[in-house]
Structure 1
Amino acid sequence: MDLISPASGLIIWQLLIFLAVLFILGKFAWKPILNALNERESSIEEALLSAEKAKEEMKQLQASNEQLLAEARKERETMLKEATSAANKIKDTAREEGEKERKRMVEDASLEIESQKKAALADVKQQVAALSVQIAEKILRENLQGETAQKSYIDKLVNDLNEN
């Protein structure tokens, strides 16, 4: 039974050694371990706070991004409307200028036609005058003998002119 029940001296020595180990552990091991645990706990809390702060910032950034996107869409729509309006104005201006150019060309062509018509009439008048001169020349060349021959020849020429 000696093995089962320890002697009182052994218990005292074991108690003294236990207290010494407890004191040494308390002095040198537990304080650094507790300090490390406290530091770890505080760093975890700081990380959680940082994560929460980052989450809030992300929400704000997301809201800001959505607002910027909405503004960009509005600006794009405005720019598209302005571009469409400008394109329509350019088309209208080009159409008006084309119409003015067409009218000017028609007027120029009309003036040219009128000018050519006058030139043609002048040419016709000149040809008529030349023909008249040729007729008169033929009459004078023919040296008509007698008044009756002259009258008959003049009547013949007048009939020819009336037929033409």
Structure 2
Amino acid sequence: MIDLIQVLAAADPQAADSANLVETFGIHGSHIIMQAISFTILAGVLWKFAFKPVMATMEEREAKIDSGLRYAEEMKVKLAEAEAEKKKILQEASAEAKSIVTEARQTAEARIEKSAQDAIKAAEDITKKAELQIENDRKQMLAEARSEISRLVVATAGKVLSKELTAEEKARYSESASSTLV
């Protein structure tokens, strides 16, 4: 490069001032080449040991961030699906609970109705039995009363007639007294 400046300075007199300028500032071609080589070596070392690992770490972090963002999006979708599923399950459970409650009410009403009917039937049975018992007791009392009245009629007739009545006469008087009582 300096050689090019010297060639230009020889061809053009104004360029000679440039050559003086290079010598004035101490620009030497060997120094520039050495600095270029040093810079290239330094840039290579920095690239290999500094920039390349930093870039790899940055790419790795970027991949992790992208992965995390994708995972977060997937989780949002799954959360929305889970919420929808939860809502669906709650609705189904609510409907099932209503169905169970309705069924329980119907069963309870049926049992209450059956119990009421059973109680009414039992009360009617008890009433019929009581009426039958009362009728039987009344008939028995009437039979006992007839028997007693017949005995009294026979005893009275025997005293009135002042004699002992035979079995045949006792039966006839009893029959006669019984028929008039009915």
Query: How does the TM-score come out when normalised to structure 2?
Result: 0.69
Counting only pairs closer than 5 Å after superposition, residues 15-94 of structure 1 correspond to structure 2 as: 15-94=36-115
User: Are 1:120 and 2:141 matched, yes or no?
Assistant: yes
Q: 1:138 matched to which residue of 2?
A: 159
Tell me the percent identity.
28
CA distance in 1, matches of 2:48, 2:93: 66
Deviation at 1:136, TM superposition (A): 2.2
CA distance in 1, matches of 2:27, 2:41: 20
Deviation at 1:141, TM superposition (A): 3.6
CA distance in 2, matches of 1:61, 1:93: 47
For residues 14-56 of structure 1, give each alpha carbon's deviation from its aligned partner in whole angstroms, at most 9, with x where no partner exists: 5544432221111122211111110100110010011001101
50-59 vs 12-21, greater mean Cα deviation: 12-21
CA distance in 2, matches of 1:6, 1:77: 100
**Between Structure 1 and Structure 2, whose CA radius of gyration is higher?**
2
Runs (4+) of structure 1 exceeding 2 A deviation are: 5-21, 139-142
Of 120, 132, 154 in structure 2, the residue corresponding to residue 111 of structure 1 is: 132
Question: What 5-or-longer segments of structure 1 have no aligned partner?
Answer: 143-164
Query: How does the TM-score come out when normalised to structure 1?
Result: 0.76
> What letter corresponds to residue 124 of structure 1 in structure 2?
A
CA distance in 2, matches of 1:53, 1:6: 66
For residues 104-145 of structure 1, give each alpha carbon's deviation from its aligned partner in whole angstroms, at most 9, with x where no partner exists: 000000000000000000010011011112202322448xxx
Question: What 5-or-longer segments of structure 2 have no aligned partner?
Answer: 1-24, 164-182
Task: Indicate the structure whose relative CO is greater, using CA pairs within 8 Å and at least 6 residues apart.
Answer: 2
